[in-house]
Structure 1
Amino acid sequence: TGVSSLVVNLGGIATYPSTVREYASYENVLETAAHEWLHQYLFFHPLGSRYFDNETLRTLNETVANIGGREIADLVQQRFPLPQSSFVTAADEPREEPRIDFRAEMHELRLEVDRLLSEGKIGEAEALMEQKREFLTENGFYIRKINQAYFAFHGLYADTPASSSPIGPKMQELRRLSPSLGDFVRSVAEITSEEDLDRLLAERAVEGLTPP
């Protein structure tokens, strides 16, 4: 049919209240809840209210929620650590040290797939993705399917290895230059394009060079 499809488990959905996946670890539940809460917050600002306008806005939105969600989850976990319990879920069980750098492998794959697709070599790109999936399985990372739909879905989260978007590094740099998480979120809530993000970055860079 010429259509690439994928079925995935969703960690959460920003309904109100949010829907968060069951049977996840404490850390994952916190991160997912914070991620979805940020979507709800952004909905009342330009970045969130225009979520469905285009892919760039969705990527900006999801990347903000990823970065902020992780940081909020870390803060909550530090303040409210999970009491020691004899009950352990599969998600809490210790895992062996990974034998490969998953992030590096996936990012390298994404870049190579993008190159092949830009040259019209769809068959080669699909074969490469399957080879990488088998390699990852052999090294302890189990992904049911890696295809164009996989990268289209996960690529919205530009701070992840499945993305080739420059928005991820830019957003991470903006967070680094922001005095607080709250300042970061309030600033990006008002943007509606990658150009707005570039402008914010330039402003923060100048502020960082200005003596107090």
Structure 2
Amino acid sequence: MRIGILGTGNMAEALGGQWARAGHEILVGGRSAERAAALAGRIGARAGTLKEAARFGEAVLLALPHDTVLDVLGGAGDLGDRILIDCTNAIGPGLLLTTGPGPGAARRIAAATGARVVKAFNHVTPTVWSRTPPVFADGPLTVPLCGDDADALAAVAGLAKDMGCDPLVAGPLARADLLEATTAFLIGFWHAGRDPRTMLPPPAALGG
């Protein structure tokens, strides 16, 4: 698959590197040509502008600080026919969502761009996505996906599988609001040095 990446930070490197190793063709676009070229060199990709990355292929990874997203997308060109993978987190001081009432980050991005947005890869750190593969004692890492377009969901599920992960379609894009809030909640556990899995009994223990 041809994948454009908007951004040159740690998430862009972790996910882009995994997909490049899996044989996908990657074009990295950034606000800094030097940073885009450096990242492309590290992961075996091509470098270009944000607009070139947005138009490059079937899928586009949005890997930018959330507070810059709408400004950058405004200059990236038409994304109306693209699969846009949103791995951003709109989390501010106190680990609270900065989107306030109303739609969450992914739904606002979809409304602003008209793209086929899939919320994915936002719930853990770049360090985890850099593992080859992201597999732990309990097995492959599950990647929840939220989106309204079946073909887009299938394509992003394939990218998760290419990394060695287990994709889980968690519902329409409206449920991305819950995924974003859950991520903020989980980060609080991890920052406190606690394992959030300890609050979850195995499914068989939940009863009927």
TM-score between both structures, scaled by the size of structure 2: 0.30
Higher helix share: 1
Higher strand share: 2
Structure with more contact order per residue of length (Cα contacts < 8 Å, sep ≥ 6): 1
